[in-house]
């Protein structure tokens, strides 16, 4: 009995252990199960929710409209044309009809035809006669049509049969105008160059989507489960660019390139001297941002003559290089040696420092010896002795500048260059701005100081150089140049407005005014900038020519040149400054006074009146009334009062006509008014005046019986253009416009 009791007790203990073990295992399993359920339901709730949503929902993209770009007068420069392609899978339609017995082809053809204004029978025939995955129903559907198609798809559970695809295309209504400033965007709605790239985050907007649910069989659920998140269109840019000024600048650059066979491109800027607003900026490699991968004519010529086989890797790579050069904004991305235009900075710095004044005298023997080197002046015989600094600047004398720089000293010279902003980027709101290449301060010896004084052996960008010149033009303040005036939303409300940024006062207002006055006399007087003259306006200007040392001939000499001119009108209310840089002119004369200054003059002659700047100089012109119908005696008395010469042709007593026929317009005092008292007109043959001096051309025209109007350098230089062609037969007294230019001045 005791033995059985022992075994029973032992069995109970064993059974208890087994039960405890099993209970423990169960509890562990239960804990594992609960913890995993908690992890799945709580910890990974979002993950599996997203997975479920992905399985039961379908999304259609709604593409955001890229913002517009406007000029300063709200003329449209860039916009976006967005459309939607509607397409169907006829293969899947036939498969769905076979599986369900439902006539999807008829439902789709009738529904889409109604929404997209198509012929239902034609669409039905297209479905029935094809068996492919993608057939376009409408290539360019509107946004409203697209939304209607989406609703139709959801209501009829056609998600696997009918599709929409957003298509955007950027459109530039002015074609090549301001292309280098605007840049262009890619097919993915992303800006690639220019303003399109710099302000891409503002212009691009945020895409929306159309979300709808479907059941386990892929059928769409009720539209109450559909969600439409509208796209948020991009903001628009209002720029400082004036399309009129821009067009005039581009026209002058094109003429300079054509007239002087320019191989390195030309570039120019027009800028408000007080605010830094860019009114125009252009480079002479025009491309159409609507088709940016089409080379311009000069690039096509280079590609055609490259020698690489069409289609070869070398050919493709060279074309890519040409495209990148064509797209690049030369005024921003490239550097060049400014040449004599930099003499403005040298003189302004020295006068502001107080080491010289405009009346200090200098001498020029045609060279100046520095560090054992004889550095030449452009005038081989020199400018003489004991002339004032003002004359040295106006005549662009290199030895004068070197002597001035010696008084300034390398440390002060470096500090002023830094003050004028050359060692920092201008800060303009355009991409890929290059940096100045200059000597390190400790490396500026006497020779480096000498060559830098007249703008050689260092490089700057066009925008940085013009910005520094504007500091002289505006009273000594260095400002930040800019292109975008404000950013607006779709309602026209501003989300950003530019504020003029004055970085610092570089030179005193008095010094700035003094330097400007000297430069103006260099235009209106006998200085080297006469070709930048603008009739009726006070214009300060400086021309320059620099060598290119990047490319040398077989003897190690530089042979390529850059001609440039900077200019600004002097106005109490502030004015505009402009620069034109002509890179590698191939004409016989390569000086900035010839390849750039005349085009600056023509540009400002158009732009200054357009911008309503008042004439600041006295005019030698008077107005002539319409005398037709007056008695001859009355007409001649009127002309005598105006101190005008006249000639009566005919024996009649009443004025029947007059030449010139300028009524209420100003004409030069040298004009002779021809009064006709009978119907017979006297005709003259126009002589060839191009190539003559102004004095010779004036005498020849007057002897012929023509009246003249001078433009360009005025009464100095040589006639380079005449408005009436040689040999043309015109009425006696007709006005012939003569464009003149000084061609014998080096800079």
Question: Where residue 25 falls among pLDDT bands split at 50, 70, 90?
Answer: confident
Who wins on pLDDT, 715 or 725?
Answer: 725
649 three-class SS: strand
Rounded mean pLDDT of 419-445? 97
Residues 456 and 602 in one domain: yes
For residue 569, the model assigns a pLDDT of 97
Percent of the chain residues past pLDDT 70, beyond the cut: 90
Q: Check which CATH number belongs to the domain holding 724 and give it.
A: 3.30.10.20
Residue 285 in domain: no
**DSSP alpha helices (H): ranges in 117-213?**
120-128, 143-155, 179-182, 194-198, 200-203
* Residue 33 clears pLDDT 70, i.e. is over it: yes
Residue 322 in domain: no
d(CA 569, CA 600): 11
362-372 pLDDT, tens per residue?
999 999 999 99
**DSSP alpha helices (H): ranges in 139-242?**
143-155, 179-182, 194-198, 200-203
**Sign of torsion, CA 650 653 655 657?**
negative
For residue 210, the model assigns a pLDDT of 65
Residue 259 in domain: no
d(CA 710, CA 696): 13
Residue 405 in domain: yes
For residue 142, the model assigns a pLDDT of 87
640-670 pLDDT, tens per residue?
888 888 999 988 999 998 888 764 555 666 7
Looking at the structure of the chain, the number of domains it has is 4
DSSP secondary-structure letter at 482?
Answer: B
Residues 184 and 119 in one domain: yes
717: left (phi over 0), alpha (psi -120 to 50) or beta: left
Residues 525 and 561 in one domain: yes
Residues 563 and 677 in one domain: no
Residues 102 and 230 in one domain: yes
Residues 560 and 650 in one domain: no
* Residue 219 clears pLDDT 60, i.e. is over it: no
Cβ atoms of 405 and 371 within 8 Å: the answer is: no
Among the candidates 208, 239, 270, a domain finishes at: 239
Rounded mean pLDDT of 322-349? 97
Residues 200 and 94 in one domain: yes
Residues 493 and 367 in one domain: yes
How far is the first Cα of the chain from the last one, in angstroms, to the nearest whole number? Answer: 135
Pairing between strand 335-336 and 278-283? unpaired
Provide the residue range defining the domain that includes 32.
Answer: 2-43
Question: Where residue 224 falls among pLDDT bands split at 50, 70, 90?
Answer: low
Question: Where residue 40 falls among pLDDT bands split at 50, 70, 90?
Answer: low
For residue 429, the model assigns a pLDDT of 98
Residues 199 and 111 in one domain: yes
Residue with tokens 């989406």: 150
Residues 163 and 32 in one domain: no
Which range in 37-41, 297-301, 413-417 is most confidently predicted, on average pLDDT? 413-417
149-162 pLDDT, tens per residue?
999 999 998 988 99
Q: Check which CATH number belongs to the domain holding 104 and give it.
A: 3.90.1310.10
The two tokens of residue 60 are 């259609």
* Residue 500 clears pLDDT 90, i.e. is over it: yes
Among the candidates 193, 209, 239, a domain finishes at: 239
Among the candidates 541, 576, 610, a domain finishes at: 610
Residue 262 in domain: no
Q: Check which CATH number belongs to the domain holding 583 and give it.
A: 3.40.710.10
Residue 659 in domain: yes
| Residues 167-196 as b or e (16 or more Cβ within 10 Å = b) | ebebebebebbbbbbbbbbeeebebbbbbb
Residue 263 in domain: no
Residue 293 in domain: no
* Residue 617 clears pLDDT 90, i.e. is over it: no
**CB atoms near residue 606 (< 10 Å):** 17
Residues 389 and 484 in one domain: yes
**Sign of torsion, CA 629 630 636 642?**
negative
Residues 85 and 23 in one domain: no
391-425 pLDDT, tens per residue?
999 999 999 999 999 999 999 999 999 999 999 99
């Amino acid at each position: 009995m005791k033995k059985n009791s022992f075994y029973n007790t032992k069995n109970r203990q064993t059974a208890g252990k087994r039960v405890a073990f099993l209970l423990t295992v169960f509890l562990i399993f239960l804990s594992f199960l609960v913890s995993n359920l908690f992890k799945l339901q709580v910890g990974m709730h979002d993950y599996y929710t997203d997975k479920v949503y992905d399985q039961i929902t379908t999304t259609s993209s709604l593409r955001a409209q890229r913002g517009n770009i406007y000029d300063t007068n709200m003329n449209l420069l860039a916009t976006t044309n967005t459309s939607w392609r509607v397409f169907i899978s006829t293969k899947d339609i036939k498969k769905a009809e076979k599986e369900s017995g439902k006539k999807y082809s008829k439902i789709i053809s009738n529904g889409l035809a109604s929404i997209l204004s198509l012929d239902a029978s034609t669409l039905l025939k297209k479905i029935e006669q094809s068996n492919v995955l993608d057939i376009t129903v409408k290539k360019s559907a509107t946004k409203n049509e697209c939304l209607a198609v989406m609703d139709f798809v959801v209501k009829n559970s056609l998600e696997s049969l009918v599709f929409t695809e957003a298509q955007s295309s950027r459109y530039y209504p002015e074609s090549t105008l301001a292309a280098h400033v605007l840049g262009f965007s890619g097919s993915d709605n992303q800006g690639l160059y220019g303003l399109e790239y710099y302000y891409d985050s503002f212009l691009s907007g945020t895409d929306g989507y159309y979300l709808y649910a479907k059941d386990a069989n892929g059928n769409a659920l009720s539209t109450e489960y559909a969600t439409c998140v509208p796209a948020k269109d991009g903001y628009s840019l209002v720029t400082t660019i004036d399309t009129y000024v821009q067009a005039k600048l581009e026209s002058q650059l094109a003429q300079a390139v054509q007239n002087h066979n320019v191989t390195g491109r030309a570039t120019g800027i027009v800028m408000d001297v007080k605010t830094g607003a860019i009114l125009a900026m252009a480079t002479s490699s025009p491309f159409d941002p609507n088709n940016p991968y089409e080379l311009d004519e000069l690039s096509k010529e280079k590609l055609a003559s490259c020698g690489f086989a069409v289609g070869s890797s070398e050919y493709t790579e060279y074309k890519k290089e040409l495209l990148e050069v064509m797209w690049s904004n030369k005024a921003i991305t490239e550097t060049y040696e400014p040449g004599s235009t930099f003499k403005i900075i040298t003189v302004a710095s020295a006068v502001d420092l107080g080491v010289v004044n405009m009346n200090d005298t200098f001498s020029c023997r045609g060279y100046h010896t520095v560090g054992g080197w004889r550095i030449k002046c452009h005038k081989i015989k020199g400018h003489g002795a004991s002339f004032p600094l003002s004359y040295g600047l106006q005549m662009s004398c290199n030895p004068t500048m070197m002597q001035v720089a010696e008084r300034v000293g390398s440390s002060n010279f470096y500090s002023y260059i830094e003050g004028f902003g050359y060692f920092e980027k201008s800060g303009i709101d355009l991409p890929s701005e290059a940096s100045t290449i200059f000597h390190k301060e400790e490396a500026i010896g006497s020779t480096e100081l000498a060559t830098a004084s007249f703008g050689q052996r260092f490089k700057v960008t066009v925008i940085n150089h013009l910005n520094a010149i504007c500091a002289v033009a505006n009273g000594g303040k260095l400002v930040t140049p800019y292109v975008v005036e404000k950013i607006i939303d779709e309602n026209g409300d501003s989300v950003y407005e530019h504020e003029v940024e004055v970085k610092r006062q570089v030179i005193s207002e008095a010094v700035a005014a003094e330097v400007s006055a000297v430069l103006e006399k260099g235009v209106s007087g006998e200085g080297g900038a006469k070709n930048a003259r603008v009739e009726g306006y006070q214009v300060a200007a400086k021309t320059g020519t620099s060598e290119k040392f990047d490319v040398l001939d077989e003897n190690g000499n530089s042979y390529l040149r850059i001609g440039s001119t900077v200019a600004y009108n002097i106005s109490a209310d502030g004015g505009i400054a402009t620069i034109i840089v002509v890179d590698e002119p191939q004409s016989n004369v390569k000086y900035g006074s010839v390849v750039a200054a005349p085009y600056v003059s023509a540009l400002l002659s158009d732009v200054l009146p357009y911008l309503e700047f008042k004439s600041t100089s006295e005019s030698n012109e008077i107005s002539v009334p319409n005398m037709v119908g007056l008695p001859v005696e009355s007409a001649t008395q009127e002309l005598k009062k105006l101190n005008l010469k006249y000639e009566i042709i005919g024996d009649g007593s009443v004025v029947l006509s007059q030449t010139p026929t300028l009524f209420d317009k100003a004409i030069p005092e040298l004009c002779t008014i021809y009064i006709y008292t009978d119907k017979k007109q006297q005709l003259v043959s126009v002589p060839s005046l191009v190539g003559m001096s102004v004095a010779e051309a004036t005498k020849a025209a007057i002897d012929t019986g023509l009246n003249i109007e001078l433009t360009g350098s005025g009464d100095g230089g040589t006639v380079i253009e005449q408005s009436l062609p040689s040999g043309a037969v015109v009425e006696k007294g007709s006005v012939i416009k003569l464009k003149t230019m000084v061609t014998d001045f080096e800079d």
